[in-house]
């Protein structure tokens, strides 16, 4: 997906060309370069611009800061703490996210904001400059650009609340934007995705992995309606629309759950049958610490690997110890849900057993004194494991820590099934059908082999635990999607993010207030856009 690039210089040239002055005597045909005046003339040129619009999806580090939505969605929630080195101040921006101390000068906020608006800008370039080409290929590229524009706007909303909607290319004079309302944001997202669905193919051919498909657009539209419904006072009609679009994903008959959940996260596994939309990471470009925009590798693999792990562990190499799972997450799993827990988390005891089974001699399997003593619980995430097999993965140079290429699941089929169950239940639809979809996920969660088919159904859980169906759904989403970045956003949209969530964690409980549901707009943006507000006020949620 990354073989075509548009440089930052070219993008600036595109933007400035609309306002630059070109006296006739200075007008010459560009030689050996493309500007907005002579680009977008062929399908290949439009496609190269589209690939540039895809590129920010994979940035786990941008402008020198870690910007992973997976890390944010876990560290901000009750699933994980920041971690890092023993100082408890490693990567201060992320420590502030963890402890609800972030202000508009936090070093990570602006890169997160910029990353997504760069994606929107590049998608708008495709859409505004390709109108003269009406071939089927270009129509598909335009549909993909609309999908991407919707995706970036949705991610911005999830982090910052109602944000400015940008659906045209901007000049430098257009930067002073103000926030749109929630309805305006979601209307723009829905419109783009509906347009995309009408054009995008249901299946992707060889070599097209990671591109938007009809199923990806239906799933994203269903997820957007689910959020909108939840935040619009439990709007049953919008939950119904979410169910409608999520059901379309199921009806395609393309996606299935992998029999072995742990295999989803094995080294080298990319775009399996369960993947509805997946962020493609690459080791083909020599990313390093001076990378101007965003790296193409998955820096999260090294960043969130096991700090202090002995060199002789048979499978993993040491990482830097971020995104440390909480005891609360470990305890969330029921006693008959250990297979799914073990797919997400690994403990000192398990690491020690692996060393012993391999006949390896480690004086200390994990030197926990190297990690953050405040955040350490003796557990580490395992879905983005720092495999020894990544050694030598930086095939074209660059820092080996930044070129590990594990893809990131943006939407898995299990997520679709659980969202569909929730949307059916909360729209007043069929609870029986909702439980059928939950049970598909729960059956896989029992594990392969002897345990296959041996699981408690949603109905049995409700009876055994005294839970409502919604309780079952919340349990399932946290257990199934742990360490994948959904937890915080689920809590916010459903109104469950509050002080009580952090009882027992005095720092987070005392620091949390309602503003912390959203990140503030960075000071750098507020300085050039006085009409922006730092936080969204209640009037915007309409």
| Whether 396 and 517 share a structural domain | no
Contact 58, 284 (CB under 8 A): no
| Whether 233 and 316 share a structural domain | no
At CA 244, angle to CA 429 and CA 494, rounded to 5? 70
- Domain assignment of residue 36, yes or no: yes
Strand partners of residue 309:
366
Residue 148 CA to residue 233 CA, distance in Å, equals 28
Of the candidates 406, 393, 411, which has an alpha carbon nearest to the alpha carbon of residue 281? 406
Q: Which domain holds residue 373?
A: 300-406
Other Cβ atoms within 10 Å of 421 Cβ, number: 30
Among 372, 406, 440, which residue terminates a domain?
406
| Whether 29 and 164 share a structural domain | yes
- Domain assignment of residue 191, yes or no: yes
Place of tokens 């029999």: 259
| Whether 233 and 354 share a structural domain | no
Of the candidates 470, 420, 424, 475, which has an alpha carbon nearest to the alpha carbon of residue 445? 475
Rg (CA), the chain: 23
- Domain assignment of residue 286, yes or no: no
- Domain assignment of residue 294, yes or no: no
Q: Concatenated DSSP letters for 415-465?
A: HHHHHHHHHHHHTT--HHHHHHHHHHHHHHHT-SGGGTT----HHHHHHHH
- Domain assignment of residue 75, yes or no: yes
Residue 109 CA to residue 103 CA, distance in Å, equals 9
| Whether 121 and 223 share a structural domain | yes
| Whether 341 and 239 share a structural domain | no
Contact 162, 536 (CB under 8 A): yes
Angle between helices 109-129 and 8-17 (to 10 degrees): 60
- Domain assignment of residue 541, yes or no: no
| Whether 246 and 310 share a structural domain | no
Place of tokens 């922006």: 532
- Domain assignment of residue 174, yes or no: yes
| Whether 156 and 72 share a structural domain | yes
Other Cβ atoms within 10 Å of 137 Cβ, number: 12
First to last CA, the chain: 38
Residue 242 CA to residue 221 CA, distance in Å, equals 7
User: Which residues have CB under 8 Å from 204's CB, separation 6+?
Assistant: 211, 213
- Domain assignment of residue 542, yes or no: no
306: tokens are: 């096991």
Among 349, 382, 406, which residue terminates a domain?
406
Q: Could you report the average pLDDT of every consecutive run of 10 residues in the chain (542 residues)?
A: 36 36 44 67 96 96 93 98 96 98 98 97 96 96 98 98 96 89 98 98 96 98 98 98 98 97 96 98 83 85 98 97 98 96 97 96 95 96 97 84 94 98 98 98 87 86 98 98 98 96 93 97 95 96 96
| Whether 119 and 196 share a structural domain | yes
111: tokens are: 């890169």
Strand partners of residue 514:
none
* Residue 33, pLDDT score: 59
| Whether 120 and 213 share a structural domain | yes
| Whether 228 and 89 share a structural domain | yes
Other Cβ atoms within 10 Å of 244 Cβ, number: 17
* Residue 175, pLDDT score: 84
Among 406, 429, 462, which residue terminates a domain?
406
Of the candidates 531, 502, 535, 537, which has an alpha carbon nearest to the alpha carbon of residue 521? 535
Angle between helices 136-160 and 109-129 (to 10 degrees): 160
CATH number reported for the structural domain that contains residue 152 in this entry: 1.25.40.390
Of the candidates 19, 6, 214, 4, which has an alpha carbon nearest to the alpha carbon of residue 122? 6
| Whether 233 and 307 share a structural domain | no
Is 134 in a helix, a strand, or coil?
coil
Place of tokens 């083909």: 284
- What are 179-192's pLDDT values in tens digits? 999 999 999 999 99
pTM beyond cutoff 0.85? yes
At CA 460, angle to CA 459 and CA 465, rounded to 5? 105
**Counts for the chain of helices (H) and strands (E), in that order:** 20, 8
* Residue 32, pLDDT score: 53
Q: How many residues does the chain have?
A: 542
Contact 401, 287 (CB under 8 A): no
Other Cβ atoms within 10 Å of 463 Cβ, number: 11
459: tokens are: 């109905």
The count of structural domains within the chain is 2
* Residue 115, pLDDT score: 96
Of the candidates 324, 341, 334, which has an alpha carbon nearest to the alpha carbon of residue 378? 324
């Amino acid at each position: 997906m990354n073989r075509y690039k548009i440089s930052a210089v070219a993008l600036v040239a595109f933007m400035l060309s609309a306002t630059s002055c070109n006296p006739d005597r200075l007008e010459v045909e560009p030689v050996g370069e493309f500007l907005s005046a002579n680009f977008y003339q062929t399908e290949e040129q439009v496609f190269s611009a589209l690939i540039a619009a895809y590129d920010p999806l994979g940035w786990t580090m941008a402008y020198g800061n870690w910007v992973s939505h997976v890390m944010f969605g876990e560290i901000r929630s009750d699933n994980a703490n920041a971690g890092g080195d023993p100082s408890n101040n490693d990567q201060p921006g992320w420590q502030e996210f963890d402890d609800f101390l972030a202000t508009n000068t936090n070093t990570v906020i602006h890169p997160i904001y910029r990353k997504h608006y760069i994606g929107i800008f590049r998608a708008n370039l495709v859409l505004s400059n390709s109108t003269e080409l009406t071939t089927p290929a270009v129509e598909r590229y335009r549909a993909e650009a609309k999908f991407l524009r919707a995706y970036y706007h949705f991610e911005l909303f999830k982090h910052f609340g109602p944000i400015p909607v940008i659906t045209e290319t901007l000049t430098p004079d257009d930067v002073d934007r103000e926030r749109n309302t929630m309805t305006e944001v979601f209307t723009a997202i829905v419109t783009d995705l509906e347009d995309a669905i009408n054009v995008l193919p249901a299946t992707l051919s060889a070599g097209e992995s990671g591109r938007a498909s009809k199923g990806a657009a239906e799933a994203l539209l269903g997820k957007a309606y689910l959020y909108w419904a939840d935040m619009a006072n439990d709007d049953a009609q919008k939950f119904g629309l979410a169910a409608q679009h999520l059901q379309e994903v199921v009806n395609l008959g393309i996606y299935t759950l992998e029999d072995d959940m742990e295999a989803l996260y094995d080294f080298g596994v990319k775009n399996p049958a369960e993947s509805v939309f997946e962020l493609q990471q690459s080791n083909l470009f020599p990313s390093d610490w001076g990378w101007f925009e965003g790296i193409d590798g998955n820096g999260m693999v090294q960043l969130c690997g096991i700090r202090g792990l002995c060199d002789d562990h048979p499978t993993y190499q040491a990482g830097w110890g971020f995104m440390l799972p909480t005891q609360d997450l470990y305890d969330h799993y029921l006693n008959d849900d250990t297979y799914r827990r073990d797919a997400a988390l690994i403990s000192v005891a398990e690491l020690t057993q692996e060393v012993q089974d391999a006949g390896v001699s480690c004086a200390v399997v994990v030197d926990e004194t190297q990690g953050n003593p405040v955040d350490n619980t003796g557990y580490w995430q395992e879905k983005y494991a720092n495999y020894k097999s990544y050694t030598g993965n930086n095939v074209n140079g660059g820092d080996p820590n930044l070129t590990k290429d594990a893809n990131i699941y943006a939407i898995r089929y299990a997520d679709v099934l659980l969202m569909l169950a929730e949307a059916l239940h909360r729209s007043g639809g069929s609870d029986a059908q909702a439980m059928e979809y939950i049970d598909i996920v729960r059956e896989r969660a029992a594990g392969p082999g002897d345990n296959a088919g041996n699981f408690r159904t949603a109905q049995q859980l409700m009876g055994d635990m005294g839970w409502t169906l919604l309780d079952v759904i919340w349990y399932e989403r946290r257990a199934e999607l742990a360490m994948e970045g959904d937890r915080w956003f689920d809590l916010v949209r459903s109104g469950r993010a509050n002080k009580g969530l952090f009882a027992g964690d005095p720092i987070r409980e005392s620091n949390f207030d309602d503003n912390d549901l959203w990140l503030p707009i960075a000071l750098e943006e507020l300085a050039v856009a006085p009409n922006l507000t730092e936080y969204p006020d209640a009037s915007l949620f309409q």
